[in-house]
Amino acid sequence: METKTITDILQSFREDLPDHSKTATAIDRGAPWEEISACAEAEGIHKLAAALLNPEREQVRASA
């Protein structure tokens, strides 16, 4: 079983985001997770926002 870190999750989502996305911009400049989560929520990327707000639970899901 592979355990994904938050960094892995961020990079996975980042690959699918357009460069002009506020979430992508926040990820690229290494913004705090709270800021990235807020951008993701505002842009309707709820799964990423939830993963950043609940990293322990998301890490368990990824390893299941």
Angle between helix 46-53 and 6-16 (nearest 10): 170
53: in domain:
yes
12: in domain:
yes
Token couple for 34: 């709270």
* H-helix or E-strand spanning residue 57: helix 55-63
**Total of domains in the chain:** 1
1: in domain:
no
Q: Output the pLDDT for position 64.
A: 42
Domain extent for 32: 6-63
* Residue 5 near residue 63, CB atoms below 8 Å: no
24: in domain:
yes
Q: Output the pLDDT for position 55.
A: 59
Per residue in 22-59, pLDDT (tens digit) is 999 999 999 998 999 999 999 999 988 988 887 555 44
pTM for this prediction = 0.76
37: in domain:
yes
Q: Output the pLDDT for position 51.
A: 83
